[in-house]
Chain A
Amino acid sequence: MFFALTDDQREFGTAVTTYLAERFDLEAVRGVVEDPAGDGNPAALWKAAAEQGWLAVTVPEEHDGLGLGLIEAQVIARSLGAGVAPGPWRGTVLAAEAIRLAGSPEQQAAWLPKLASGEAVGAFSLRANRTAVEYAAVADVVVLRDGDGLVLVERGGFSTEPVGSYDGTTRLAAVHAEKGEALPGGAAALAELTARATVLVASDLAGVAREAITRTVAYDREREQFGVPVGSFQAIKHALADLHVGVTMAEHAVLYAAHAVDTGADGADLAVAVAKAKASDAALAATAAMIQYHGGIGYTWEHEAHLFYKRAKRLVGQYGDADAQRERIATLTIG
């Protein structure tokens, strides 16, 4: 029995966390948030993602990727979430996953090496109305829902229109595609792609939630009121303890869901729904608590709490919110 990450897998997360701490901290994130007209894709961060293999993680080795699984990808996603990092990492990885799972050999050869190296930016959406697509404006290739299947559209074949969002750590756009080429295995791969996308979002949420608690605990150890640290008050202790348990469970659930999808395990559907439901609830609770247990400063623009809260608010709705996941769980276990 080994229910844990290996050292090599853990290393991906450490690399992302270390890079963000040293080169793209919350001040840099704020720079992106406060420049809504910018493309939200800082060049240095993208270069690091390419050089350090964060983009190549699930691309097969024959297409110049690392040939690893969703489990390694979710490690990266979690660290990016913890850093509330901007940039089209997830869209690029998921576009590559769509092409890997559903593309023709020609499509794979044309796009996977470029997506793995960061030469091309990808965007991915399963929404029928093709709006609020993450980083579509900077994408070289978008993979979109087309009826029951998927269509791949190159830059030049689509136009975008910015969609504003109070989550300033990302950039969204509506996509209008004139033409495009079908991914031949699109319909067959839809369920697995949905599962993979859902796990990566859940993992980002788990990262957001963990960091929200860590920062709140650090603050409440120091902040004094009534002559003592506010973290010594039982009302705050018990709330943070429950959040810690909830986030730990969300981390377990995401880790298992990634493994279940990678191995095609029985019950992978249930595992994904459990992970997204739990991570969504944990992230909303933890980021709301981050505001509350910082007191007034937590409600200011100047403080970082709102970056976490707003990112969580956007991501909990992606690929089905907690209630939608619970209905899925009910269908799977009750009928």
Chain B
Amino acid sequence: MDLTYTEAEEEFRRELRTWLGANIPDEWTRPGFWEALGDDESFRVRRDWERDKALAGFAGIEWPTEFGGRGGTPGMKAIYDEETVRAHAPRTVNPLGLAFLAPTVMAIGSDAQKKEIVGPLLRNEVIWCQGFSEPGAGSDLAALATKGVRDGDDFVVNGQKVWTTNAVHGDKIFTMVRTEPGSQRHRGISMLLIDMHQDGVDARPLKQMSGASEFGEVFFDDARVAATDVLGEIGDGWRTAMLLLSFERGASGIGQYTEFRRQYDEIVEVARTLGRDTDPVIRGRLAKVLTELECLRLHAMHVLTQVEQGRDLGFEASMTKLQWSETFQDLWEVHDDVLGEDATLDSLGDLDLRPLHAQAMWSRSVTIWGGSSQVQRTITAERVLGLPR
């Protein structure tokens, strides 16, 4: 066991802390600040800030320098995830591009794609959306029906995507489209890279149960995309998608732990304020969540170790997702337990509960998106435990 980082990694931590300390205004750390700003303004501020961060060298931490990354270690990425949460850095506006598209392009993209996609993405010059889910294709992604018909050098795309993060702010969308007429299931799909700024693409916000609109819907009505704007081979989109999703294994467990642990401490503070911190039932529930949070932290160190050792975690990513998402949801259930009969109120005395409610509502989404808990359990049972399909 060696739970320390290298000297170079700790030096990176110091540099990053210094930069974050100088570049995050105090008011950003105030609870409810971002919610009060409104979706559009929040997005603009975060987009600019993240660009400046990239220009300062704090983006693409573990990406090769030839792609504009920092060429850092997996440990530096973990430190980055931890420190940005600690410093109350705003959420990225390009989450799917950074986590999924960029590594896939670096792995299988053409030379032109590597040049045109990765750098601009890193600097937020292009906001990328992911077009996977459809009204009829949620957990069953292979049921997707969005069609692309060849017309000269282009595909003409028709259909609808849904649960698209940042849909209304998106510039481009990597999209799973059925490009072989009459094809079934996993065959005949292509990963098309579609410009969202055209008449044939209509992105609309989707108001969520929380009241916010992180997600949206994207409608394709004779949208055009050059047949060369495909990631991987034409008709081989399923394989591209599986490769793309495999990059989730690098999920930022240490950053998640840091964030959730702070939320735990906030909930404990609410319990203290209300005098609920001595209630043995509440204490037991809080301790149960804390136990799972600690397990999440240790699991993140396990994952980081495996990555550093060059081992393929494969389907263990499903376990990671289950552990963080179910624990996060439990955490916010305990928050409501702490509030008891006042759980739905906007405020209690001086305590504004609305930012906390926003997190509690959000926690209902995390066990659905990115592969629902039910899908993750099936994957774990079949691919890890070897139970029959």
Contacts and interface: CB of A to CB of B under 8 A. Distances in A.
A327 B378 contact: no
Interface stretch (A1-9, A16-24, A30-38, A116-124): A1-9
Contact of B385 (A4, A217, A228, A329): A217
Nearest to B318: A241
Contact of A334 (B5, B268, B319, B380): B268
A326 B287 contact: yes
Contacts of A323: 284
Given A1-B5, A245-B380, A278-B291, 19 more contacts: A1-B75, A4-B302, A221-B386, A231-B381, A232-B388, A236-B387, A237-B378, A238-B378, A240-B385, A241-B376, A245-B319, A248-B299, A252-B302, A277-B287, A278-B295, A327-B284, A327-B287, A333-B286, A334-B271
Contact of A240 (B264, B268, B298, B387): B387
Contacts of B290: 274, 329, 333
A221 to B, nearest CB: 6
A247 B75 CA distance: 26
Interface residues of A, number: 45
A244 interface: yes
A229 interface: yes
A303 B380 CA distance: 27
Interface residues of B, number: 47
Contacts of B319: 244-245, 248
A181 interface: no
Contact of B2 (A2, A237, A244, A253): A2
Contact of A1 (B271, B294, B299, B308): B308
Contacts of B283: 326-327, 330, 334
Contact of A333 (B78, B268, B382, B389): B268
A217 B2 CA distance: 33
Contacts of B388: 221, 228-229, 231-232
Contact of B377 (A213, A241, A271): A241
A255 B283 CA distance: 25
A154 interface: no
A18 B158 CA distance: 60
B387 A231 contact: yes
A329 B305 CA distance: 27
Interface string A302-335: 0000000000000000000001011111100111
Contacts of B3: 1-3, 259
Contacts of A236: 387
A334 B271 CA distance: 9
B322 A237 contact: no
B292 interface: yes
A71 interface: yes
Contacts of A277: 287-288, 291
B262 to A, nearest CB: 13
A249 interface: yes
Interface string A61-92: 00000000001000000000000000000000
A146 interface: no
B301 interface: yes
Nearest to A271: B294
B210 interface: no
A248 B291 CA distance: 13
B374 interface: yes
B305 A334 contact: no
Interface string B308-324: 11000000000100110
A217 B292 contact: no
Given A234-B378, A256-B298, A244 B287 contact: no
Nearest to A238: B377
Nearest to A250: B295
B125 to A, nearest CB: 34
Contact of B299 (A4, A71, A229, A249): A249
